[in-house]
Amino acid sequence: MSNAPTLQVTDLKTHFFTRAGVAKAVDGVTLSVDRGEVLGLVGESGSGKTVTGFSILGLVDHPGRIVSGSIRLNGEELVGKPEAELRRIRGRKVAMIFQDPMMTLNPVLRVDTQMIEAIRAHEDVSEDAARQRSREALVRVGIPSPDERLQSYPHQFSGGMRQRVAIAIALLNEPDLIVADEPTTALDVTIQAQILYEVQKLCAETGLAMIWITHDLAVVGGLADRLAVMYAGRVVEEGPVDRVLDAPLHPYTHGLIGSVPSHNRRGARLSQIPGMTPSLLHLPEGCSFAARCPRADDACRVMPQLERFAPSRAARCHHPFIAENDGQEIDLTFNE
């Protein structure tokens, strides 16, 4: 594996300057994704997953703004780039897939229009060539009779088919990274499984890196290589997906996974943790999970840093679950 990761986000802060105050939606996110790797990004609603995704694409809208931090794509810094340059990167180097396939395609434009424009926004190719590539992309995501489908409007597709079209559009310019924001949540299980299978194959075959945002631990367990867990705008735990699910370090991850025995755990949704996500407008001093944390004590009034616990694992906690999971299990086993 080459040394520079496809994406390296360091201490990213994206804040929303609302009338009510500053909402620190993303407040110090650090994560990285390698070539061909799928990073699962989980966390409760409002923890800042989508805002992280939009920050990577430079699509944070007013009143939001990236206030500090670094986003490096293949070593190239994206934060602070002028809009015109970001536009050339969006859709070409980084693509995004949204949660609701019913809403992502423009209802009044034909599918071919929406695909061809995505190619021609970045490359000076003929319409015929662009159409040919669009057709191939549809075939790649498993859409039957692509020629006919190109001529259709979005409303003539089912939800699953529309999401495939969205994925096909994301693939059109062979980006280095795709940010997929809960792309299969709205679909039924069989279709979800098909899409996941195809996406996994794609990453393995093409070296595409992927951030897969989801609430669904079953999906993450089956699809992702590594897992990052977000809480109140920060990554609180990060590591290889099996390790994190089997032996979480952070009390929040622990709570998310629940107390079910490990083999039954797969297929479970994130379990509910007592208490509420703190308001982003009034985050407490110190660890933001303290109010809900069974292990909280005085030390937690100081904000913990993201600490490495093994070459591949990190957590942001003063009292991680290390003792309970014997050190060996956490350690060493994972060497890329």
Nearer to Mg ion, 39 or 293 (CB): 39
| H or E segment and range at residue 11 | strand 7-18
**Nearest residue relative to Mg ion (C-beta):** 50
Nearest distance, CB of residue 322 and ligand SF4, angstroms: 12
Nearer to ligand ATP, 14 or 114 (CB): 14
Amino acid at 89: I
Q: Which does 59 bind (CB under 5 to 8 A by kind): other proteins, ligand ATP, ligand SF4, none?
A: other proteins
Judged by CB under 6 A, the chain residues 295 through 314 that form the site for ligand SF4 are 295-296, 300, 304
Which pair of structure tokens corresponds to residue 147?
């020629």
Nearer to ligand SF4, 79 or 322 (CB): 322
| 144/138 Cα distance (integer angstroms) | 8
Under the phi-then-psi rule, with left for phi > 0, alpha for psi from -120 to 50, and beta for the rest, what region is 30? beta
Nearest distance, CB of residue 213 and ligand ATP, angstroms: 7
Which pair of structure tokens corresponds to residue 226?
């590594």
Contact between 317 and ligand SF4 by CB under 6 A: the answer reads yes
Token pair 């977000």 is found at 230
Amino acid at 57: L
- Answer for which of 58, 183, 240, 251 binds ligand SF4 (CB under 6 A) is 251
Nearest distance, CB of residue 27 and other proteins, angstroms: 23
End-to-end, the C-alpha distance of the chain in Å comes to 8
- Applying CB under 8 A, the residues found at the interface with other proteins are 57, 59, 87-92, 95-96, 98, 100, 103-110, 117-118, 121-122, 153, 155, 166, 169
Amino acid at 220: V
Q: Which does 9 bind (CB under 5 to 8 A by kind): ligand SF4, other proteins, Mg ion, none?
A: none
Strands 38-42 and 64-73: unpaired
Nearer to ligand SF4, 53 or 304 (CB): 304
| 268/290 Cα distance (integer angstroms) | 25
- Applying CB under 6 A, the residues found at the interface with ligand ATP are 16, 18, 23, 25, 43, 45-51, 63-64, 280
Nearer to ligand SF4, 270 or 293 (CB): 293
Which pair of structure tokens corresponds to residue 28?
């110090």
User: Where does residue 284 rank: exposed (0-12), middle (13-18), buried (19+ CB within 10 A)?
Assistant: middle
Judged by CB under 6 A, the chain residues 261 through 290 that form the site for ligand SF4 are 287, 289-290
Chain center to CA of 319: 27
Q: Which does 65 bind (CB under 5 to 8 A by kind): ligand ATP, other proteins, Mg ion, none?
A: none
| 308/316 Cα distance (integer angstroms) | 9
Q: Which does 289 bind (CB under 5 to 8 A by kind): Mg ion, ligand SF4, other proteins, none?
A: ligand SF4
- Applying CB under 5 A, the residues found at the interface with Mg ion are 50
Q: What angle do CA 276, 280, 283 make, to 5 degrees?
A: 85
Nearer to ligand ATP, 34 or 181 (CB): 181
| 289/265 Cα distance (integer angstroms) | 23
The alpha carbon torsion through 32, 35, 40, 46 (nearest 10 deg) reads 50
Q: Which does 245 bind (CB under 5 to 8 A by kind): other proteins, Mg ion, ligand SF4, none?
A: none
| Contacts to ligand SF4 by CB under 6 A | 251, 287, 289-290, 293, 295-296, 300, 304, 317-319
